[in-house]
Structure 1
Amino acid sequence: MTSRRTPAAVLFAAGLLALTACGTTSTTGDGAAPSPSAYPSVDWAARARDAAARHDARFPEIVAQCAGRATTLPPVPGATSTDPAADKYAENNGFKRELPDTPMAQCRGEAHATRIREALTGEGKTVPRTEAELRTALEGLGYTVDPGAISATSADGGRLWFEMHVYDGGPCVGGQLHAPVRIETHGPYLEGGCWQPRGGH
């Protein structure tokens, strides 16, 4: 009597074969396992130095303004609250916390914010009113504007926000271009990125 296998049984057997293959080590043509040098590790410190050098070459005036500032993080103050409700509130809103910045990074962030503010809203300037105008203005200043960095809405006569990371060792800079105009710097959020996370627990 011939056995008949349903398509489901065939798929199940194929899945088992795939699982038994997991964890096996691939070998070279002569059967020897590849040497560890075949998978070089990433030198993150070198990448950070290269990124900082690119930033400094693109924005020499920012570098000059912040020369001599400390590059170490300030000490983090210990928790002093004895109020359980305050502790719970802080825990629930922890997703809004920003990572600390060194004095050097803070100085550079403020310098970038000032540079952008003066270029977009200074005397005789026409403040961008659309996403396209803002993107063009920021890119004209030498910044990389990722998709999603600009947010606009037509409600209440039109509102325009932006949040961007100044790449290659720079800070988060953002704000609003509708009244009252506000452009400032801040550290990236604990959960990552420059836009404030919208969720919590």
Structure 2
Amino acid sequence: MIRRRPAPTAAVAVLAAGVLTLTACGTTKTTTGQPGAAGSGAASASASAKPDYVAAAEASAAAEQQRHDAKFPDIVARCKDAAATAGPSTAATSSRSMDPEAAKYAENHAYKTKGELSPEAECKGRAHAARIAKALSGAGKTTPATEADLAKSLEKLGYPSAQDEVYRDGGNLGFAFFVQGTGSCVTGRLGTPPKVEAHGPYMEGGCQEPRGGH
């Protein structure tokens, strides 16, 4: 949306016997007689468990993706093989090759940095961008003239608009929103033809390019 898891083996039987021994004797010794082994195993298991907030976030993201995929099956079909065709990243190489002035410029404009997208997220974002551009500029289409008209057009396409996600900037209508369930933003500016693109959320948050800096 817009804005914005057989019978016990011999080893298991030995382990069970060890647990029973610990319970009966009230000690941390295992059946092999090594102190602290049982306590150490419990601590290890506890440390490897995911925190509740992480599990909740992952469950929420999975639910959002399911809703998206059910709503836009054509987008899913188009991008199902995107992850398998991913190319290597060149970010590290380009950052090492910067001269001092370029590095300073990059630091001063870091607030404009966009998050990286997975191949699947990038594919889905671009597919949504192309879908929107086609709907707004196809033959016989009337270009929205007001923020309300643009918001209504996007809603008809399945992108309910939230506050400030549709706006007028410098006389031109534009929009920027996060497509729930994809991980990507879609940003557009009306023109002839409209310019619509997909990208990751900005490092400072949101899909609209932040203003300011230092």
TM range (shorter): 0.7 to 0.9
What displacement does 1:169 show?
Answer: 2.8
Q: 1:164 to 1:74 in 2, by over 3 A?
A: farther
Q: In structure 2, what residue type is equivalent to 1:53?
A: Q
Structure 2 letter corresponding to 1:41: D
Other structure's SS at 1:146 match: coil
User: CA RMSD, aligned part only?
Assistant: 2.1
Aligned-partner Cα distance in 2 for 1:198–1:73: 32
Deviations 1:48-99 (A, max 9, x none): 1111111101111100111111188954424223522111111001111110
Q: How does 1:40-119 map to 2 (within 5 A)?
A: 41-42=52-53, 43-70=56-83, 75=89, 76-78=91-93, 79-81=95-97, 83-119=99-135
Q: How high is the TM-score relative to the length of structure 2?
A: 0.68
**Displacement of 1:104:** 0.8
The match for 1:126 among 136, 142, 164 is: 142
Q: Secondary structure at the match of 1:77?
A: helix
Question: What is the deviation of 1:181?
Answer: 2.4
Are 1:174 and 2:190 matched, yes or no? Answer: no
User: Partner residue of 2:154?
Assistant: 138
User: Matched residues, percent identical?
Assistant: 47
Aligned residue pair count:
159
CA spacing shift, 1:145–1:93, aligned 2, 3 Å: same
Per-residue CA deviation, residues 160-194 of structure 1 (Å, 9 max, x unaligned), is: 11111112334211111134521111111111110
Q: 1-side partners of 2:158 and 2:193: how far apart?
A: 25
- How far apart, in 1, do the equivalents of 2:118 and 2:200 lie? 10
If asked which structure has higher relative contact order (CA below 8 Å, sep 6+), I would say 2
Q: Does 1:162 align with 2:175?
A: yes
Task: Compute the TM-score of the two structures, normalised by the length of structure 1.
Answer: 0.72
2:52 is aligned with what amino acid?
A: S
Amino acid at match of 1:164: F
Partner AA of 2:129 in structure 1? A
**Long gaps (5+) in structure 1:** 1-39
Matching residue within 192, 203, 212 for 1:190:
203
SS of 1:164 mapped into structure 2: strand
**Cα shift readout 1:15-59 (whole Å, capped 9, x = no counterpart):** xxxxxxxxxxxxxxxxxxxxxxxxx93321111111111110111
